[in-house]
Chains A and B, each alone.
Chain A
C-alpha cells in the first residue's frame, strides 16, 4: 500500500501530453502537474461518473491519451461502464483506480466488500484486454513505461492509503481553483476545440 501523492509524482514524468482526469487524486495532482490546461480536476460532480466522463473524452479525442485516476468507491457506483469501455475498446484510454477500500471523503467507512474485491478481475471479465494490480509503489512505478507505452484500454488497480476527511463539507479546504466550466473551457482552448 502506498500514498496517492507519491504515485502521482511517479506518474508525472510519464505523462507526455496526455489529458489527465485526476478524480479523487485531484487534490494532490493540482500541486504536481505542470500542464493544468490538460488536467480536468473535477472534485465530485456526481459520484459514479468519473470513468464514463473520462471515457467519453477518450472517444472524442482518439489521437490523445486520456488518463483517469478513478477510485474504487466511484467505480463501484458505476461498474457497468467497464462493459461499455470494453465494447468501444478505445486505444487511448488508461484507467487507473486508486483503491483505498473506503469512502474517504465521508469519514472512511468501508466500501462494500472492501478488502475482498478484485477490480482487475472485474475489468478483465468485462473485456478490458490488459489489466494490472499493484500494492507496492516501486512495482507500479517500474511498470508505468510499459503500461503507458502500449495501446489501451488498460485497467490498473492500486492499493493506496486513505486520506480520510471528517470535517463537514463547508469547513473543508477547497483545493479546486477552477469551476467545472472553466476546466473544460481551458482544455478546449488548449486543444483548439470550438465551444
Chain B
C-alpha cells in the first residue's frame, strides 16, 4: 500500500530534471530569475549546467527589460519567478516584453496553489490567473512530469506569437523540494 502511494506521489511530481531538459531542448541560454524556496533544487541543477547562464535579479520587474536585451542580442532567456514576482512585473511586461515582441517563457512557481485551486490562506494564487488574463498572457499549468509537453507548447507558442507565455508550476505537486 505504501509502495503504491509512493509511486503515485512520484508520478505526481514535476522533477527539476524535467524542467531543465525542457530548457535545453528549446535552446535556452540564460535563466533570469529571482528564486523562491520551491526552486532551489532546480537552481542547483541549473548552476551545474554549462549551457545555461544564471542571471539573478533583486526584483522581478527587472527581469523583463533584461530578457528583452538578451533577446535583442540574439540569446534565448527564460524568466523564472514566483507568482508574486510575476504580478510585481506588470508595467515591465507591458512595455518591455509586449512592446518589443519578446518571445519569452515565464516559469512561475504558484505559491499557495494546491489541488483545490487557489483557495488557500495565501492570497497570491487568487490573483495570478486573473493577472495573466488581464495582460493577455496565455499560460499552461504544469503539475507533474507527465505535463512536460505543456512546457514545450509554451515555448512554441511564444516563438510563434512573439509574446510572453507562462508556465505555472503547481506548487503542491512539484519535486523541487527534496
Q: Which residues from chain A sit less than 8 Å from chain B, CB to CB?
A: 40, 44-61, 78, 80-81, 83-84, 87-88, 180-181, 184, 187-188, 191, 193-194
Main DSSP-derived SS at the A contact region: helix
- Chain B residues closer than 8 Å to A56, beta-carbon distance: 65-73, 77
Given contacts A52-B66, A188-B74, A81 and B92 within 8 Å (CB-CB): no
- Taking a contact as CB atoms closer than 8 A, the residue among A55, A80, A84, A193 that contacts B74 in the complex is A193
* A53 near B69: Cβ-Cβ < 8 Å: yes
Q: Is B137 part of the contact surface with A, judged by Cβ < 8 Å?
A: no
B17 located at the interface, meaning its Cβ lies under 8 Å from any Cβ of chain A in the complex: no
Closest 9 CB pairs of A and B: A56-B69, A60-B73, A46-B95, A49-B65, A80-B58, A45-B95, A193-B74, A52-B65, A53-B65
Say yes or no for B158: interface residue by CB 8 A criterion: no
**Are A49 and B99 closer than 8 Å at their CB atoms?**
no
Pair B99/A180 contact, Cβ less than 8 Å? yes
Partner of B55, one of A57, A84, A180: A84
Residue from B75, B77, B95 whose CB has the most chain A CB atoms within 10 Å: B95
Return the contact of B59 from the options A40, A47, A58, A78 (Cβ within 8 A).
Answer: A78
A46 touches B94 (CB 8 A): yes
A59 touches B58 (CB 8 A): no
Residues of B within 8 A of A193 (CB): 73-74
Is there an interface contact between B75 and A188, defined as CB atoms closer than 8 Å?
A: no
Q: B96 interface residue, CB < 8 Å from A?
A: yes
Scan B34-70; emit 1 where CB is below 8 A from any A CB, else 0: 0000000000000000000101111101111111111
Tell me the nearest residue of chain B to A40, going by C-beta: B72
- A residues within 8 A CB of B91? 46-47
B95 touches A88 (CB 8 A): no
Cβ A57 vs Cβ B59 within 8 A: no
Contact of A81 among B53, B62, B77, B94 (CB under 8 A): B62
Interface-centre pick from A45, A55, A193 (highest chain B CB count, 10 A): A45
Q: How far is the CA of A81 from the CA of B69 in the complex (A)?
A: 13
Judging by beta carbons under 8 Å apart, are A78 and B61 in contact?
yes
A187 touches B65 (CB 8 A): no
Known: A49-B95, A52-B69, A57-B72. A84 touches B64 (CB 8 A): no
Q: Is the CB of B59 within 8 A of A59?
A: no
Complex: A88 Cα to B56 Cα, angstroms: 9
Closest B-chain residue to A187, C-beta based? B72
CB neighbours (8 Å) of A52 from chain B are 57, 62-66, 69
Contacts known (A49-B92, A84-B62); A61 close to B57, Cβ less than 8 A:
no
